[in-house]
A and B are shown apart, each in its own frame.
Chain A
Amino acid sequence: MAEEKQVMDVHKGPSPVISPGYTFGTITDQISSVVLTRQTPVFWLAIFSVAVTLLLVFLGAITLLLARGVGIWGIQMPVAWGFAITNFVWWIGIGHAGTLISAILLLLNQTWRNSINRFAEAMTLFAVACAGLFPLLHMGRPWLFYWMLPYPNTMGLMPQFRSPLVWDVFAVTTYALVSLVFWYLGLLPDLATLRDRTKNRFGRAVYGVMAMGWRGASRHWNIYETASLLLAGLATPLVLSVHTVVSFDFTIAIVPGWHSTFFPPYFVAGAIYSGFAMVLVLAIPLRRVYGLEGLITQRHLDNAAKIMLATGLIVAYAYIMETFMAWYSGSTYEMSIMWQRMTGPYAGAYWALILCNVVLLQSLWFKKVRSNTLLLFLVSLVVLIGMWLERFVIIVSSLAQDFLQSSWRTFSPTLWDWATYFGTIGLFLFLFFLFIRLLPMISIFEVRMLVPEARVEEEASK
């Protein structure tokens, strides 16, 4: 008992990044056992079967979509963008947390990130994959998607570079590529660990190939650290640029409710907000099921909740600014669109998003809420819903009631809109649960660095 007290005294501030008592060995055992030795939990099977079901729904929905056209959705004139673009922005927003955690926090030397960066990055990757599907699927003729890329062709035609959609193509593909490389690079030492630990020959072969000959030599570590820092440096501006470019899809247009200069920071904050919400939504049940409370501690949840609170407040400020600017602009159309959002056919969605993203968020000011994992989980879920609603309201309500009253028409989604949306959630969960089953969901070697043993040399050198 006395020993425990001592530990508390040492830290004196926030709760520790990892629970005391971990050694290099126990960390490695605990994380790799999820993949290698432990019985697959019922929780995993349950969620995975839900994911596969949803994935099948998704495959059905896109088969019909490709066979018949985007008319199976509820989009129409004037609301020519509906769920697809909403989902795209939502997923890409979610995809922000991973890179933020792995890159920016790495640069800022926030070591607590080490135990959540791996699965956050995986989440990013899968979220970007889901996001990337939508711009393709929402095209009238998706088989011509490559026309958006600049490639030499007999017609001498290039994409039209004034269009933000072309910028999107570059921004999203760059982001997806860098995220993938960064994630995979970070996986190398752990893949080698799995290779060394697995007793299964097949597994050894696969992990072996994937580990690309990692032996843990100091030369390897040296190169790894350099590459990792460089990639972090490369990924950092991308975190900010992707959603900035996505927001250009709206700001460049003259549609009232879209055409505004504060969208980039507003969108980036919103993206980080929803990204951290997704991190929490995934982390809270996972640490519980796999008994990882010692690695993903209350400290992590608390930090993530605080980031959510901070970015959520930026978003709330953006809502206020949006309303203010609509009034301050003096533009009939801008004022009308804000008024219609608040009182018109989408008033329900608007006030729901305010409730989700602004009102309920305020509960995170209280430590009691932040330290109650169930409440935190629920708040994060609410934030995810709220952020989806925010994109929906921005996109749909602006289009539904723009300049000419004669063309106003409200959007109503079809069964296939929902099927495609939930289908990508299925795809996401499918990929993510495959990931936690087959790869170490927490970075083994980085967490090991958090253990006091790792600091022996550091402290000795002091």
Chain B
Amino acid sequence: MNEKPKFDLERLRAILAGKRGREYWRSLEDLAGSPEFEEVLHREFPRQASEWPAEDAAGRRHFLKMMGASLGLAGLAACTRQPTEHIVPYVRQPEGLIPGRPQFYATAHTVGGLATGLLVESHQGRPTKAEGNPEHPASLGACDAFSQASVLQLYDPDRSQALRYNGEIRSWGAFETEIRKAMALQRASGGAGLRILTGAVTSPTLGDQMQQLLSELPRAKWHRWEPAGDHAARAGAMLAFGQPLNVYYDLRNADVVVALDSDLLASGPASLRYARQFAERRRTVSGQPGMNRLYVLEPMPTPTGATADHRLPARAADIEPFTVHLAAAVGVQIGNAGTVEHPEWQKWLPALADDLRAHRGRSLVVAGDQQPPAVHALAHAINQALGNVGSTVFYSDPVEVDPVDHLASIKELAADLDTGSVKLLLILGCNPVYTAPADLNLRERIQRAQFRVHLGLYDDETAEVCQWQLPESHYLEAWGDARAFDGTASIIQPLILPLYRSRSIYEVVGLLEATPRLEGRDIVRSYWNRQRPGADFERFWRRAVHDGVVPGTALPTRTAEVRYGWSGTPPERGGFEIIFRPDPAVHDGSFANLGWLQELPKPVTKLTWDNAAVMSPATANVLRVENGRMVELDHRGRKVRAPVFIQPGHADGCVTVHLGYGRKRGGRVAAGAGFDAYALRTSGALWNDFGLNVRDTGGSYELATTQGQHVLDARRTIIRHADINSYLADPESAIQDTAPPRELFMYPEVKYEGYAWGMAIDMSVCTGCSACVVACQAENNIPVVGKDQTARGRAMHWIRIDTYYQGSLANPELFHQPMLCQHCETAPCELVCPVAATAHSSEGLNDMVYNRCVGTRYCSNNCPYKVRRFNFLQYSDQTTPSLKLLRNPDVTVRTRGVMEKCTYCVQRIQQAKIQAEKENRKVRDGDIQTACQAACPTEAIVFGDINDPNSRVARLKNEQRNYGVLADLNTRPRTTYLATLKNPNPAIEAT
């Protein structure tokens, strides 16, 4: 166009005149394509000033015109950044979008680089809740606590919100200029001074980017450090096979599972899948035999240990000798294993070996990620000797891109930093100053690099020592990809534009490339386009993004022969053993700023907001310390003060400390919680070591636990349990129902016509992993109350996992029981409310009317299950803007002075009912999944209509082992439990 383009306001007005609502926006959008509009956009910001005529002849008129145009375009102006990335383009109403109804998008969350597929719920463009992606192999529809809480991370007000240079806010442009200069220098020397440090990377795109970069700059180095990674498993595979094979399992085929210090059911990248498979073999419907059997050896009780049929506490270093004996007993050629001295082992080993040999090809031995390589190698040997490979055990190439030994890698970086050869150091998406082994002293060493860049979600310990602090985009804000435990790739799809001016790791690495690439979507898409060139790429891409898995990307299984001839190095014994473990709630510390996880009662210990020096009662007795006593942990000269937590069932002579606490920076929630166990962790002993001295300092510390450790009182109808054989032989006497007969009721029976909602929870398969607790918190806008309030007994969780102990303090049996509102048909709470704020619905729900509640708390007193939660103070954060986006709009945000409790996710029930009504049908079984049920990896929680005899819940309630907790009170709970069944080995049981 030659003539001076001018925005024709008159034309726009003419077009828009008479258009309404949707049409109006359509028209605006059509206009968006026109050259005039382009020009307006073009002029929108920088050159806008030139629009004002020099001599202001008709100032007012012109001003009004401009104002009119600005108003008219306000809707579009807000979207100026959108056309390049079609995330939730509200300019064009997405297909199927109904305002008020959430949409679900597939994406994936990574922990330690490995992906779990998710379907994330989006309300009007705001991601609010993560659910598992049933098509993703690591999720199978379930969702762990980390993924649930990752949505909170997106809105975390403590996230890095601006790019900073030594603490001062700078623009990305400023950084780009500087990094280009620095890269130009590096290019001259082939990248001799360039070092990039990341966590474990499974992303094919990022891997490709890095390989590309390294091939351009051959002298540059890419270091990896994943503090809680599976280093030992990889080293074990090297030992056994001579190559770093990836191992995964299929528990569906395993009749006998031996977990050697492995919490395979509740932690690790495939734990959701393993838990699901384990449960499939655990569930006994209508008394069919075929239940699997689980043996666990571990120092610290985990959900896996609590689920086990046989659990033996053992120090971490004792696992290896045990495994040697076990290997010898099942016929692995490893020479003389020596004599077994431990009396429990003498009992266990022959029984265990017999059991394994009796189930050749249908058994499984799993070594924990924190066990030394030799144990992994032995486990491989045992599995091979038992013929389990190909049935329960599978090998594949490593999932990680360019698998290196992380410890060697970070050590090499430390050495290079010493020599001064590191000029440009980029630390991308990890926090090595906090997580690296203490002896490497990276805090000092990193500062020897001249140009230091840190990309991270938080202004953490590493950001503190880097000049350039780049805000990283959350995974729900940026495109990416990642592989799952078996190699299956997922496209990480963003659901929202970055809340702040942040970039993803792909975009930052893109900046380093010879021709910088800025758009994360292009980077990821172009990588996959190169993998699948051709006309149907668009279809492939849409399919992959939509499904959340890229078809056919699982790595092919491999076969490998175990090579013998290795030997473990027996540790120097002496003193107590110190055992490091990733924390079940905050993992390696990367989730430390998430209140949901900090306040999540950790499985088994029920500890919140802190880590502790966990030890057995006997060890505490030796040390003469009690719970909460401050002790000084002195591990080979490195000292840390920590509170004692006494855990029945913990192995004697050792102290477990969990990583991830004692943060100095990285958010207000993280800072100040717990003590830093990394300060004791050296490259010589990443997971366990002897030589720990524990000194009582005399001080005490308040630990906030949500419940005490209670020995199960068998006279109370709380937990019912039996072993499978006695149950099958005589179900009625094994598990008795104590509910009084219905005929004894004095009042007229209430008839529930139509729906009657109910829930059944199978305690046989509940591992106590606590994913449901966080899922419920996310779904129901449950506030975080903080450590002080938790310690006072005011945590707000609507569902909790009760843990009971039975047997000796040294090795008790543990029982988990998810406890939530039981929706009693004769609910004691309803009777006593003076204002009828809690009432019964015609479908049997015990409804809570928040705005009627005056807060007498009488209902809670009269609730035998104590599942009601009271807002003693104003707990919901109603001021932080970003947290407002997080709320589920379908659930009321409660205020101070109001009682609340589980509603059976009534919002989901209503939605399903409305849908069913529109389709002129009844709600089908499975239409409604409560949040806890949806998250549960073992499908222990089943919800549905008990009036429908064919519903899953009705069938479960017909099982003989179905019983109501405290049913003897005649509360008639709608939530019932299926008694715990265990499958002990008679050979061990007998003695």
Residues on A close to B: CB < 8 A? 68-72, 74-81, 135, 138-142, 144-145, 147-148, 157, 159-160, 162-166, 169, 249, 252-255, 332-333, 336, 399, 402-409
B898 lies within 8 A of chain A by Cβ: yes
> Do B832 and A164 have beta carbons less than 8 Å apart?
yes
Centre residue among A144, A157, A254 by max chain B CB count within 10 A: A254
> Do A405 and B793 have beta carbons less than 8 Å apart?
no
B977 lies within 8 A of chain A by Cβ: no
Chain A: minimal CB distance from B70 (Å) = 44
- Which A residues touch B861, using CB under 8 A? 78, 80-81, 253, 255, 399
CA separation between A336 and B794, bound complex, in Å? 25
> Do A407 and B707 have beta carbons less than 8 Å apart?
yes
Chain A: minimal CB distance from B608 (Å) = 14
> Do B716 and A333 have beta carbons less than 8 Å apart?
yes
CA separation between A157 and B834, bound complex, in Å? 11
> Do B864 and A404 have beta carbons less than 8 Å apart?
yes
Binary CB contact string for chain B from 705 to 747 against chain A (1 if under 8 A, 0 otherwise): 0011010110110100000000000000000000000000000
> Do A140 and B897 have beta carbons less than 8 Å apart?
yes
B527 lies within 8 A of chain A by Cβ: no
- Which A residues touch B854, using CB under 8 A? 139-142, 144-145, 147-148
> Do A404 and B793 have beta carbons less than 8 Å apart?
no
- Which A residues touch B872, using CB under 8 A? 69-71, 75-76, 140
> Do A69 and B896 have beta carbons less than 8 Å apart?
yes
B636 lies within 8 A of chain A by Cβ: no
> Do B873 and A404 have beta carbons less than 8 Å apart?
no
- Which B residues touch A81, using CB under 8 A? 857-858, 861
Main secondary structure of the interface of B (DSSP, over half): loop
> Do A71 and B860 have beta carbons less than 8 Å apart?
no
Residue ID in chain A nearest B836 by CB atoms: A160
B856 lies within 8 A of chain A by Cβ: yes
- Given A77-B794, A405-B713, A406-B803: A252 in contact with B831 (beta carbons within 8 A): yes
B969 lies within 8 A of chain A by Cβ: yes
- Which A residues touch B707, using CB under 8 A? 406-409
From the candidates B793, B828, B874, name the one contacting A254 in the complex (CB within 8 A): B828
B853 lies within 8 A of chain A by Cβ: yes
> Do B866 and A404 have beta carbons less than 8 Å apart?
yes
CA separation between A254 and B819, bound complex, in Å? 19
> Do A163 and B858 have beta carbons less than 8 Å apart?
yes
Chain A: minimal CB distance from B717 (Å) = 9
- Which A residues touch B866, using CB under 8 A? 77-78, 402-404, 407
Residue ID in chain B nearest A414 by CB atoms: B792
> Do A252 and B715 have beta carbons less than 8 Å apart?
no
From the candidates A72, A76, A157, A332, name the one contacting B713 in the complex (CB within 8 A): A332
Residues on B close to A: CB < 8 A? 707-708, 710, 712-713, 715-716, 718, 789, 792-794, 800, 802-804, 817, 819, 828, 831-836, 852-858, 860-862, 864-866, 868-874, 896-899, 965-966, 969
17 contacts between A and B (CB under 8 A): A68-B873, A69-B873, A77-B793, A78-B866, A81-B857, A81-B858, A81-B861, A139-B855, A140-B856, A147-B834, A159-B836, A163-B858, A165-B832, A253-B858, A253-B861, A254-B969, A404-B716
> Do B831 and A77 have beta carbons less than 8 Å apart?
no
CA separation between A166 and B860, bound complex, in Å? 17
> Do B966 and A403 have beta carbons less than 8 Å apart?
yes
> Do B873 and A163 have beta carbons less than 8 Å apart?
no
- 10 new A-B contacts, CB < 8 A, other than A69-B897, A403-B966, A403-B969, are A75-B872, A77-B869, A135-B856, A159-B836, A252-B831, A253-B828, A254-B828, A405-B713, A406-B707, A407-B802
Centre residue among B833, B835, B861 by max chain A CB count within 10 A: B861
CA separation between A160 and B832, bound complex, in Å? 8
Centre residue among A68, A78, A135 by max chain B CB count within 10 A: A78
Centre residue among A81, A148, A405, A406 by max chain B CB count within 10 A: A406
From the candidates B713, B718, B856, B868, name the one contacting A139 in the complex (CB within 8 A): B856
Residue ID in chain B nearest A399 by CB atoms: B861
> Do B710 and A140 have beta carbons less than 8 Å apart?
no
- Which B residues touch A252, using CB under 8 A? 831-832
- Given A77-B870, A408-B708: A148 in contact with B713 (beta carbons within 8 A): no
> Do A254 and B804 have beta carbons less than 8 Å apart?
no
- Which A residues touch B897, using CB under 8 A? 69-70, 139-141
> Do A140 and B855 have beta carbons less than 8 Å apart?
yes
- Which A residues touch B793, using CB under 8 A? 76-79, 409
- Which B residues touch A253, using CB under 8 A? 828, 832, 858, 861-862
- Which B residues touch A409, using CB under 8 A? 707-708, 793
- Which B residues touch A80, using CB under 8 A? 857-858, 860-861, 870
CA separation between A138 and B708, bound complex, in Å? 27
- Which A residues touch B865, using CB under 8 A? 403-404, 407
> Do A254 and B862 have beta carbons less than 8 Å apart?
yes
From the candidates B804, B835, B896, name the one contacting A405 in the complex (CB within 8 A): B804
Chain B: minimal CB distance from A165 (Å) = 4
Chain A: minimal CB distance from B521 (Å) = 47
Chain A: minimal CB distance from B352 (Å) = 33
- Which A residues touch B803, using CB under 8 A? 406
CA separation between A142 and B856, bound complex, in Å? 9
- Given A77-B860, A403-B865: A140 in contact with B802 (beta carbons within 8 A): no
Centre residue among B836, B852, B898, B966 by max chain A CB count within 10 A: B836
CA separation between A76 and B871, bound complex, in Å? 10
- Which B residues touch A75, using CB under 8 A? 857, 872
Chain B: minimal CB distance from A82 (Å) = 10
- Which B residues touch A141, using CB under 8 A? 853-855, 896-898
Chain A: minimal CB distance from B35 (Å) = 59
Chain A: minimal CB distance from B716 (Å) = 6
Residue ID in chain A nearest B965 by CB atoms: A404
- Which A residues touch B969, using CB under 8 A? 254, 403
> Do B834 and A160 have beta carbons less than 8 Å apart?
yes
CA separation between A298 and B369, bound complex, in Å? 84
From the candidates B708, B789, B817, B869, name the one contacting A71 in the complex (CB within 8 A): B789
- Which A residues touch B898, using CB under 8 A? 140-141
Chain A: minimal CB distance from B158 (Å) = 24
Chain B: minimal CB distance from A2 (Å) = 67
CA separation between A405 and B713, bound complex, in Å? 8
- Which A residues touch B834, using CB under 8 A? 147-148, 159-160, 163, 165-166, 169
- Which A residues touch B716, using CB under 8 A? 332-333, 403-405
- Which B residues touch A145, using CB under 8 A? 854
CA separation between A166 and B866, bound complex, in Å? 23
CA separation between A80 and B829, bound complex, in Å? 13
Residue ID in chain B nearest A163 by CB atoms: B834
CA separation between A93 and B793, bound complex, in Å? 30
CA separation between A41 and B757, bound complex, in Å? 71
- Which B residues touch A404, using CB under 8 A? 716, 718, 802, 819, 864-866, 965-966
> Do B864 and A403 have beta carbons less than 8 Å apart?
yes
Chain A: minimal CB distance from B802 (Å) = 4
> Do B710 and A406 have beta carbons less than 8 Å apart?
yes
Please list the 3 inter-chain residue pairs (A to B) with the smallest Cβ-Cβ separation, ordered nearest first: A140-B855, A140-B897, A71-B872
Residue ID in chain A nearest B970 by CB atoms: A254
- Which B residues touch A147, using CB under 8 A? 834-835, 852, 854
Centre residue among B804, B873, B897, B898 by max chain A CB count within 10 A: B897
- Given A254-B864, A332-B713, A405-B718: A159 in contact with B835 (beta carbons within 8 A): yes
Residue ID in chain A nearest B839 by CB atoms: A160
CA separation between A76 and B794, bound complex, in Å? 6
From the candidates B789, B828, B870, name the one contacting A140 in the complex (CB within 8 A): B870
- Which A residues touch B860, using CB under 8 A? 77-78, 80
- Which B residues touch A255, using CB under 8 A? 861-862
Chain A: minimal CB distance from B531 (Å) = 52
CA separation between A138 and B898, bound complex, in Å? 12
From the candidates B831, B864, B965, B966, name the one contacting A162 in the complex (CB within 8 A): B831
Residue ID in chain A nearest B789 by CB atoms: A71
Chain A: minimal CB distance from B223 (Å) = 46
Residue ID in chain B nearest A70 by CB atoms: B872
Chain A: minimal CB distance from B671 (Å) = 24
